[in-house]
């Protein structure tokens, strides 16, 4: 629903603002309004690649001018038409309204909710702006301006009942009687509608970025546009996808009433889900009591459920749009996650024994070639099946082979000195290692050319320290990792370490191995990726064949490859094709 909100917000904001021109040119055809709106939308999405900071710097004066404008107009209308409108702040009038109107008043809440739309995007914009800046801007400027604006409109409507339908769509209808003011307000309103869409677009980028980190969305290109604020990102594929959907909604509907129904349902659904998740955060993260979390959920959730129930009644009148969009996005995310987890399960169940492969070496004619091979795998333990497929078809691998496993952990960031976990696979003479590279869900999963040097340095450090002294942690950039085929986290005290002669022998062997690793580095580093293709078994159901053979295959073919995401040089890339049946 949040992604669907990113489609609907720009469409309804821009179209409703541009529609105000018909108040001056009553004979203007709707097609021209739609064309102007589409041009504005294309311009809006074309600016996104400049980054949140630059776009916000350009848009901030517009937002400030718009808020001051609507608050000034609100104050003018209050004193001009009805000075007693401040009484409307009392909730008593809301209860009287609902009691007197009954079902009609309940249905009208689907339109009333549009007065608070936009705040549901603030949670995602925490990645783009600091919490303090959002609190100050909303409390000191945005909220007071909105209250004054709506009270001004209410004061105007108390004397102009015939304009109620129009003002619900065009808030600057109240100043049409002042010809000198209309055009400046119209221009500022049009620009402000563009700015208002910016928050939801950047929020969509943040949501999809975290979905990618959690393996719930196909891999996309993530561009970090700020060197100071990590959350400021730009996703080209998502940006142009949103633009096409916005243009489709604008051209297809051409009606702000239907867009309003769709928009209201999307916003209320996002708010309610956010409230439910916040209750879980209070229990799991903040360690609050269940009673406190339930009180929070009942207090805010009950209000949101009332608005959702009113918005659901508008599904036949345009509310179906966010439902369809959310179903499509959820289907894509579910299928991608299902295919990814199925592939991981296949790797876990088909791990190969490195001892068996080495024992078969003479019969296969296996040789060790100079250099370092980095084989990427999803497994944190064991040897992946793609390696066995590789050596049986091409019986040769590098003198130093490192199984690299990239993992996203449930913390925002992982510091550089805790990112790499190095361990040994099999006996020393095999020259096999494992390196687990850990990223937080907000970290950029892309390594520069220094990654090779850092990795080799950590492996050398591991080799030189794994036989040192009694139980003590390994210091430096790397940490040792424990699994079924690796050395323990701490090197145990060996009895032969008491002998100075044998100590020197061990150190000499470690130095020799370190030199062999450095020599292999000089021979070159090769990146080995498994290019796996999933296929459903012949006995699988039609639905599973549709999901795996068509949808997941399409997503895998058109998303960004891991080597592109990790910025692997193509001259050093080796892909191993493999088909697995699920």
pLDDT in tens, 205-246: 888 888 888 888 998 888 877 766 666 788 888 999 999 999
Q: What's the mean pLDDT in 132-144?
A: 86
Residue 152, pLDDT above cutoff 90: no
* Whole-number pLDDT of residue 365: 63
Would you say residue 528 lies in a domain? yes
Tokens in use for 174? 């109240």
CA atoms of 488 and 386, how far apart (whole Å): 26
- Which whole-number Å values give the CA distances from 258 to 120, 190, 198, in the listed order? 20, 20, 22
CA atoms of 20 and 23, how far apart (whole Å): 6
pLDDT digits (tens, 9 = 90+) for 372-406: 988 888 888 878 888 888 887 787 888 888 988 88
SS3 442: coil
Would you say residue 369 lies in a domain? yes
CA atoms of 194 and 192, how far apart (whole Å): 5
pTM: 0.72
User: Residue 173's pLDDT band (boundaries 50, 70, 90)?
Assistant: low
Domain boundary among 254, 270, 301: 254
Residue 489, pLDDT above cutoff 50: no
* Whole-number pLDDT of residue 282: 93
Would you say residue 281 lies in a domain? no
CA atoms of 16 and 33, how far apart (whole Å): 10
Q: What's the mean pLDDT in 125-144?
A: 80
pLDDT digits (tens, 9 = 90+) for 65-116: 888 888 888 898 898 888 888 888 888 988 888 888 888 888 888 878 877 7
* Whole-number pLDDT of residue 169: 40
Q: What percent of the chain stands above pLDDT 90?
A: 8
Would you say residue 450 lies in a domain? yes
Task: Select, from the ranges 441-455, 523-537, 558-572, the one with the highest average predicted confidence (pLDDT).
Answer: 523-537
* Whole-number pLDDT of residue 70: 84
For residue 538, the enclosing domain spans 349-467+504-581
* Whole-number pLDDT of residue 467: 60
Largest CA-CA distance found in the chain, in angstroms, rounded: 102
- Which whole-number Å values give the CA distances from 497 to 140, 236, 491, 493, 510, in the listed order? 69, 58, 12, 7, 14
Would you say residue 272 lies in a domain? no
Domain boundary among 230, 254, 278: 254
- What is the tally of structural domains in the chain? 2
Closest CA to 486 of 448, 433, 542: 433
Strand partners, 224: 233
Residue 279, pLDDT above cutoff 90: yes
* Whole-number pLDDT of residue 317: 83
Residue 485, pLDDT above cutoff 60: no
* Whole-number pLDDT of residue 40: 87
Residue 502, pLDDT above cutoff 50: no
Q: What's the mean pLDDT in 351-360?
A: 71
Higher pLDDT, 509 or 238: 238
- Please name the residues in contact with 539: beta carbons below 8 A apart, sequence gap of 6 or more: none
Higher pLDDT, 60 or 476: 60
Residue 334, pLDDT above cutoff 90: yes
Higher pLDDT, 509 or 510: 510
Q: Are residues 48 and 181 in the same domain?
A: yes
Would you say residue 476 lies in a domain? no
Would you say residue 332 lies in a domain? no
- Please name the residues in contact with 104: beta carbons below 8 A apart, sequence gap of 6 or more: none
Would you say residue 99 lies in a domain? no
SS3 288: coil
Q: Are residues 416 and 546 in the same domain?
A: yes
pLDDT digits (tens, 9 = 90+) for 175-194: 544 566 777 777 777 777 77
Q: What's the mean pLDDT in 511-533?
A: 84
Q: Are residues 250 and 354 in the same domain?
A: no
Strand partners, 563: none
Q: Are residues 410 and 516 in the same domain?
A: yes
CA atoms of 480 and 433, how far apart (whole Å): 11
Domain boundary among 231, 254, 277: 254
């Amino acid at each position: 629903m949040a992604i669907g909100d990113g489609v609907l917000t720009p469409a309804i904001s821009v179209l409703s603002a541009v529609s105000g021109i018909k108040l001056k040119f009553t004979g203007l055809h709707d097609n021209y309004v739609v064309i102007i709106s589409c041009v504005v939308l294309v311009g809006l999405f074309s600016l996104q690649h400049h980054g949140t900071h630059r776009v916000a710097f350009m848009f901030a004066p517009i937002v400030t001018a718009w808020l001051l404008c609507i608050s000034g107009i609100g104050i003018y209308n209050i004193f001009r038409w009805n000075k007693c409108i401040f009484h409307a702040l009392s909730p008593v009038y809301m209860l009287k309204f609902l009691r007197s109107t009954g079902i009609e008043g309940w249905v009208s809440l689907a339109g009333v909710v549009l007065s608070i739309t936009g705040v549901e995007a603030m949670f995602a914009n925490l990645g783009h702006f600091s919490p303090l800046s959002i609190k100050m801007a909303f409390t000191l400027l945005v909220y007071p301006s909105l209250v004054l604006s709506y009270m001004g409109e209410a004061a105007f409507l108390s004397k102009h009942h015939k304009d109620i339908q129009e003002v619900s769509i065009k808030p600057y209808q109240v100043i049409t009687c002042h010809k000198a003011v209309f055009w400046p307000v119209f221009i500022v309103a049009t620009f402000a509608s563009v700015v208002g869409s910016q928050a939801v677009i950047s929020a969509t980028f943040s949501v999809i970025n975290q979905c990618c980190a959690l393996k719930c969305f196909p891999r996309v290109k993530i561009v970090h546009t700020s060197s100071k604020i990590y959350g400021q990102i730009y996703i080209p594929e998502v940006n142009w996808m949103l633009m096409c959907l916005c243009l489709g909604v604008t051209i297809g509907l051409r009606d702000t009433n239907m867009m309003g129904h769709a928009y209201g349902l999307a916003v209320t659904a996002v708010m309610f889900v956010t409230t439910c998740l916040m209750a879980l955060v209070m229990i799991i993260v903040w360690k609050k009591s269940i009673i406190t979390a339930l009180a929070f959920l009942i207090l805010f959730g009950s209000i949101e459920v009332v608005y959702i129930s009113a918005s659901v009644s508008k599904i036949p009148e345009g509310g179906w749009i966010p439902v369809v969009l959310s179903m499509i996005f959820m289907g894509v995310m579910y299928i991608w996650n299902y295919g990814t987890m199925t592939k991981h399960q296949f790797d876990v169940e088909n791990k190969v024994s490195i001892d068996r492969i080495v024992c078969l070496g003479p019969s296969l004619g296996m040789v060790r070639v100079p250099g370092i091979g980095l084989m990427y795998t999803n497994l944190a333990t064991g040897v992946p099946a793609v390696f066995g497929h590789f050596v049986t078809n091409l019986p040769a691998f590098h003198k130093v082979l490192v199984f690299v496993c990239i993992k996203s952990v449930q913390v925002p960031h992982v510091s550089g000195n805790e990112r790499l976990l190095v361990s040994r696979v099999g006996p020393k003479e095999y020259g096999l290692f494992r390196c687990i590279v850990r990223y937080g869900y907000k970290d950029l999963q892309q390594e520069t050319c220094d990654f090779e040097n850092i990795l080799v340095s950590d492996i050398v450090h591991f080799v030189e320290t794994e036989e040192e002294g009694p139980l003590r942690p390994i210091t430096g950039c790397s940490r040792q990792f424990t699994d079924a085929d690796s050395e323990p986290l701490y090197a145990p005290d060996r009895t032969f370490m008491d002998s100075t002669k044998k100590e020197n022998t061990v150190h000499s062997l470690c130095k020799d191995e370190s030199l062999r690793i450095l020599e292999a580095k000089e021979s070159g580093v090769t990146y080995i990726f498994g290019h796996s293709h999933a296929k459903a078994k012949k006995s699988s159901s039609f639905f599973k064949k549709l999901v795996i053979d068509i949808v997941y295959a399409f997503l895998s073919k058109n998303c960004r490859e891991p080597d592109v995401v990790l910025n692997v040089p193509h001259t050093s890339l080796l892909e191993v094709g493999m088909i697995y049946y699920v």
